[in-house]
Amino acid sequence: MPSVLVPPANPQFTPASGQLIGPADADPLAAASVNGAFQAVADRTLLAWRGLNGVQGSRMQASCVDGANIVINAQTAIRFSTRVYETLVATSVPKGVTVGSTTYYIYAWDNAGVLQFVVTTDAPNPGLRYRPGIPDQAFLTAFRTTPANNVRNFVQTAGKYLYEAEVPILAAGVAVVFAPIAISDIPPYANIVKIHVRMQNPGTTGPSSLTLKKQGAAQNFITLNVEERPAGVGTIAYEEDVLEIPTNGTVGLEYQWSLFVAGTFTDIFLLGYET
């Protein structure tokens, strides 16, 4: 019979379950009386699986160069079904059934010992670890489809995403009061957006000034100046810069020509984002 373990008369703590029941001599380790003691270890392995990207120092890398297949580098994780460490080899995940101009998320899960991938529009939990409501599906990466329903080619290293080609988000902007710039090609959990700003002044008067800020913010983020064009036929004055601006993934930017000269305009391109 199992022996009864009685806490000392003046214990440092009082077990919530009362008396602790230990196994009798020669009881197998799988006895129901001791399973509870090992549940915390099982919980930790499950937690490690949920945190797939980062277990044992794995550094998430992903990319797409053909508009269709997302390549994910090898990851080391604890598989939920076997409770052992396993290296998941580099894998190409097809985009699956998608529609254009949409952000998708890729999850990995252990289906009875077989690693499978899920492509869905469900964004990950706030910790960017797993699919909300389905914690056995570990978040890997995200991608955006173009209007033609191709994957927008990208490279990801850890939480930094860069697109292979610039994505226009403002063309020939001439607003003289603050006007919003929508940024739809980033996920809602992005906290930094990387843009390329290019201003043009074809006139012979100037200079002109452009102001950028986070949409709805009271404080300007940056002001850029473009000089008047030099004298001579066919010459145009340009000014450009690459900026990293804080965002929360759902709020765009605002721009304004705070000093405007007729004919001046600006183009802005999305380069990528960070999480």
All domains of the chain in start order, with CATH = 48-155 (no CATH), 159-274 (2.60.120.40)
Extract the tokens encoding 63: 């990319």
- By the 10 Å C-beta count (0-12 exposed, 13-18 middle, 19+ buried), 106 is classed as buried
What pLDDT was estimated at residue 59? 76
CA distance 59 to 54: 6
What pLDDT was estimated at residue 151? 95
For residues 106, 109, 111 and 117, what is the CA-based torsion angle, rounded to 10 degrees?
A: 20
What pLDDT was estimated at residue 51? 45
**Residue 268 CB neighbours (<10 A):** 23
**Residue 28 CB neighbours (<10 A):** 7
- pTM of the entire predicted model: 0.73
What pLDDT was estimated at residue 57? 53
pLDDT tens, position by position, for the chain (275 residues)?
A: 556 656 555 555 445 555 555 556 666 555 555 555 444 544 554 544 444 544 455 678 999 999 999 998 877 666 666 655 566 666 788 888 899 999 999 988 877 767 788 999 999 998 888 899 988 788 889 999 999 999 999 999 989 999 999 999 999 988 888 898 888 889 999 988 999 988 877 665 666 778 888 777 776 666 666 554 454 445 566 777 888 888 877 667 888 887 777 778 889 999 999 98
Alpha helices for the chain (secondary structure H): 32-35, 39-50
CA distance 143 to 133: 21
CA–CA distances in Å: residue 205 to residues 153, 201, 240: 41, 9, 19
